[in-house]
Amino acid sequence: MNLKRTDVDALNAVLTLEIEKSDYQEQVEKILKDYRKTASIPGFRKGKVPASLINKKYRIPVLVDEVNKLIQQKLNEYITEEKLNLLGNPLPKEQADIDWNGDNFTFDFEIGLAPEFEVEPSKIKGITAYEIKTDDKTINDQIDRIREQYGKLVSKDEVSEGDEVTGVFRNDEEEINTDATFPISKIKGKTNLKKFVGSKVGDSIELKTKNLFEDNSDLAHHLKIDFEKKDELNVPVTFEVTEVNTREKAELNQEFFDKLFGEGIITSEDELRERLREDAKKQFSQQTDQKFLTDVTEELIEKTKFDLPADFLKRWIANNGENTLTAEEAEEEYNKSEKGLRYQLIESAILQKNEDLQLKFEDLKEYAGTQIKMQMAQFGHTDATDEEVEQIVARVMSNQEEVKRMSEQLQNEKMLQYFKDNVKAKSKELTYEDFIKEAYQA
């Protein structure tokens, strides 16, 4: 068996594999002999079927199977020994029908080679590292929202601003007859709002669906109409008020603190504010880190120039799935995946040059243990023993899907820190609202 490589260019090559009779004959004969011992063919006793009949019936299927095994084995060995960095898998070249009655066979395979290039994160420019200010207003607003969430509803007879109303929307022509509950702060426009304020239980309010709610999704939800109709529906409806409630905010006392964080963990309003400030910082940092990582990734893809064996990859995509794709379909799939492939190659190049970024089993175990301790602490279990944690880690590490998820998460964290250390970014501090506007042009 002989394998020869012919380079087409720096990114494409052809592997030519020659298989001779001596490479497969012994194994094929052994299998056919075993078939003869067990074959059950009408007119012949078991084990007495003529060898010529066995050869005629089974030789070519056995030969094809054994040759395919040799092909796969030799290709894998060659790729490993030569340390080839391939894109996709070897792709058989089209050839005329193979004469399986012959003795020697030749097969050609196209391969796509990964390009060689340098990645230089330190030369990236124009990246902003955002930091969100957790000012007093943000904390005050959050405390108000939490107090409302944990507050209690008090029934009323008359609607005032800030109240929550329950009632029935009706329109016979559109077959609308639905119960709904919502805070009147979601109603759009002063005219509509005035119709609610001052109304009493039992009153019917005349409204129009157009521009009734600040968010038209609420219109679809409360009137139970098709989501596609929410922006176009413009019909009169009545709303019969059946219930009015105001929400009294929860008091800032120990009972409230214990409900939020567990018994005795927070004991004062100052501690509550500090805890919310820390939590907000963590939450905001996740968003700013993701924005930073996305921006760096996009810039690396844009600025790291290298060619890909595009024609080969399109042919490989066309023939690699369950169903063969047309050339147009394969090109569309390639265009969708090209940026992702480029970043995979960039990340791989960075990992090869930085051994400390490469995931090791012990790193993953330690990471799993840290995550488990954090989750247990959230549920008040802060005194878990090392043995308890190790048992949970062992169960987690036996779940392939969970290991894959954690590996991706830990690798992202390592890459994020690497970029923070190596990319020269401009720092910018701003409020959360301004961050959303600037970062996402909202």
As a whole number, the mean pLDDT across the chain is 91
Q: What phi and psi, each to the nearest 5 degrees, are found at residue 86?
A: -95, 155
The residues pairing with 175 across neighbouring beta strands, listed in sequence order, are none
Proportion of the chain above pLDDT 90, given as a percent = 67
Q: Is the pLDDT of residue 380 over 70?
A: no
Strands 426-430 and 128-132: parallel
DSSP state of 96: S
Whole-angstrom distance, CA of residue 263 vs CA of residue 257: 8
Q: What is the dihedral of CA 180, 185, 188, 189, to 10 degrees?
A: 130
Query: Which residue's entry shows tokens 């600025």?
Result: 303
**Three-state SS for 332?**
helix
Segment 325-346 mean pLDDT: 95
Are 147 and 252 in contact, with CB atoms under 8 Å apart?
Answer: yes
Rg (CA), the chain: 34
Whole-angstrom distance, CA of residue 354 vs CA of residue 7: 30
Amino acid type, 123: K
Burial 148-178 (b: 16+ CB within 10 A, else e): eeeeeeeebeebeeebbbebbbbbeebebeb
24: Cβ–Cβ under 8 A, 6 or more apart, which residues?
63, 66, 67, 70
Q: Is the pLDDT of residue 395 over 60?
A: yes
Token pair, residue 179, equals: 């119960």
Domain spans, the chain: 2-113, 152-248, 267-306+354-440
Length of the chain in residues, anyone? 442
Q: Is the pLDDT of residue 29 over 60?
A: yes
Reported as a pLDDT band with limits 50, 70 and 90, residue 300 is very high
Question: 2-113: CATH homologous superfamily?
Answer: Trigger factor ribosome-binding domain (3.30.70.1050)
Reported as a pLDDT band with limits 50, 70 and 90, residue 423 is very high
Element (H, E) at 4: strand 2-7
Alpha-carbon 45 to chain mean position: 60
pLDDT of residue 382: 66
Q: Is the pLDDT of residue 308 over 70?
A: yes
Return the CATH number of 152-248, one of 3.40.50.12780, 3.30.230.10, 3.30.420.40, 3.10.50.30.
Answer: 3.10.50.30
177: Cβ–Cβ under 8 A, 6 or more apart, which residues?
168, 169, 170
Whole-angstrom distance, CA of residue 70 vs CA of residue 89: 16
Whole-angstrom distance, CA of residue 221 vs CA of residue 120: 51
Reported as a pLDDT band with limits 50, 70 and 90, residue 247 is confident
Q: What confidence tens digit (pLDDT) does each residue in 62-104 have?
A: 999 999 999 999 999 999 999 999 999 999 998 778 889 899 9
DSSP state of 380: T
Whole-angstrom distance, CA of residue 84 vs CA of residue 272: 58
Token pair, residue 411, equals: 């690798």
Q: What confidence tens digit (pLDDT) does each residue in 204-224 have?
A: 999 999 999 999 899 999 999
How far is residue 137 from each of residues 58, 142, 428, measured CA to CA in Å?
Answer: 82, 8, 20
How far is residue 437 from each of residues 296, 322, 432, 434, measured CA to CA in Å?
Answer: 19, 44, 9, 5
pLDDT of residue 442: 52
Q: Is the pLDDT of residue 338 over 90?
A: yes
Segment 310-332 mean pLDDT: 92
Whole-angstrom distance, CA of residue 293 vs CA of residue 127: 10
Segment 283-301 mean pLDDT: 93
pTM above 0.75, yes or no: no
Judged by phi (left if over 0) then psi (alpha if -120 to 50, else beta), residue 239 lies in beta
Whole-angstrom distance, CA of residue 242 vs CA of residue 244: 7
DSSP state of 378: H
Q: Where are the alpha helices (DSSP H) in 4-153?
A: 21-38, 51-81, 136-149
pLDDT of residue 107: 95
**Three-state SS for 358?**
coil
Q: What confidence tens digit (pLDDT) does each residue in 260-284 have?
A: 888 888 999 999 999 998 888 888 8
> Cβ of 246: how many Cβ atoms within 10 Å?
17
Q: Do domains 2-113 and 152-248 have the same CATH topology?
A: no
